[in-house]
Amino acid sequence: MTTDEATKSEGEVQAAALAERGEDITPSKDRGVLKVYVHYKGKLANGKKFDSSRDRNEPFIFSLGKGQVIKAWDIGVATMKKGEICYLLCKPEYAYGSAGSEDLFEDGGIIRRIKRKGEGYSNPNEGATVEIHLEGFCGGRRFDCKDVKFVVGEGEDHDIPIGIDKALEKMQRGEHCILYLSPRYGFGEAGKPKYGIQGNTELVYEVILKSFEKAKESWEMDTKEKLEQAAVVKEKGTMYFKEGKYLQAVIQYGKIVSWLEMEYGLSEKESKASESFLLAAFLNLAMRGEARLLMNEFELAKCDFQKVLEVNPQNKAAKSQISVCQKKTKEHNERDRRIYANMFTKFAERDA
């Protein structure tokens, strides 16, 4: 299973099959497993395009007849020949059923397809202890399969990408789903050499949420407990930050903010401790952005300040620095244009 499957319950798929063989690719028992390479464009019934392998400039690969793709693909592609282009009009029962698929954060980063709905209305929260079964796939290859118990937000400690942590907060007990993760929510630029996964690779996970125990909400904790837990997650966040796992670090620092930012009636000692934890949370996120800004890495700096806003949307300093980054980027581009314009003028004068 790979991430490049069509991602809606009903749609129209244009697939140009580029099979390994030129003859009819209908599978048979004596041929064994047949791997096919296709390019496709997925559209909804209203004509809106929702996915395209051409946009990524790489074919989608899967093993035919193994249930790695929607039913319509296993049936339709099996009738095709190399180089053929066809249209597959898929009813829901031949695609993803009535549940369809869902873009969890409306950024295309995590697409969820529910295979079996969960029970109840409760979801794990950040810090919840969960027990799950998962299988990870990359380019049709299964690279991970395990039952694991961990704390939401700390999946990386078990070689689980951040996208799984994020998706679990949307799941119910007993839910069985397929998750399509963009590189940002997968293993990022670093990849995962342990699993033979290169950087900037899309992943697919099949996940079953077997059980979970929610973490205490802020209002369920007294000040002493909040400060004790803040010390723990600060260390965890610092560890992630040093390892370059910034999304994971954001989760930990975000806990500090949610626990302490609106805490009132503290003693002098508690107030100093609270301010120290909050300052550490904000500075660790903003510090790298400031360094990149000084090095004229404006786009990278802007990304860092945006991460600060993920923790604290009301952070005025981060908003201000994002504006500075945008202004500096514009000035830098205009300066480059002037420099190159003068350079070309001098070349022309010299040639004349």
Interval 308-323: pLDDT, tens:
787 677 778 888 889 8
Residue 135 CA to residue 142 CA, distance in Å, equals 7
Per-residue pLDDT at 5: 37
CA distance 112 to 114: 6
Domains in the chain: boundaries = 32-94, 101-213, 223-334
**pLDDT tens digit sequence for 2-26:** 333 333 333 333 333 333 333 344 4
**Residue 19, pLDDT score:** 33
How high does pLDDT run on average in the chain? 80
336 or 98, which is more confident: 336
Position 169 pLDDT exceeds 80: yes
Range scoring the smallest mean pLDDT among 53-57, 180-184, 330-334: 53-57
The CATH code belonging to domain 223-334 is: 1.25.40.10
Q: Are 182 and 109 in contact (CB under 8 A)?
A: yes
DSSP state of 141: E
Selected from 3.10.50.40, 3.40.50.970, 3.40.50.300, 1.10.10.10, the CATH number assigned to the domain covering 101-213 reads: 3.10.50.40
Contact 170, 112 (CB under 8 A): yes
**How far is Cα 131 from Cα 149, in angstroms, rounded to an integer?**
4
| Contact assessment for residue 75 and residue 94, using Cβ atoms and an 8 Å cutoff | yes
- Give the distance from CA 47 to its chain's centroid: 26
Look at residue 307 in the predicted model and tell me its pLDDT: 75
- Pairwise pLDDT comparison (253 vs 166), residue with the higher score: 166
Asked whether the whole model's pTM tops 0.75, one would answer: no
User: Where is mean pLDDT largest: 40-44, 87-91, 165-169, 271-275?
Assistant: 165-169
Please check the confidence at residue 30 and state whether its pLDDT lies above 70.
no
Mean pLDDT of 235-255: 83
CATH class, range 32-94: alpha beta
Distance from C-alpha of 36 to C-alpha of 16, rounded to nearest angstrom = 11
Among 294, 283, 289, CA closest to 322: 289
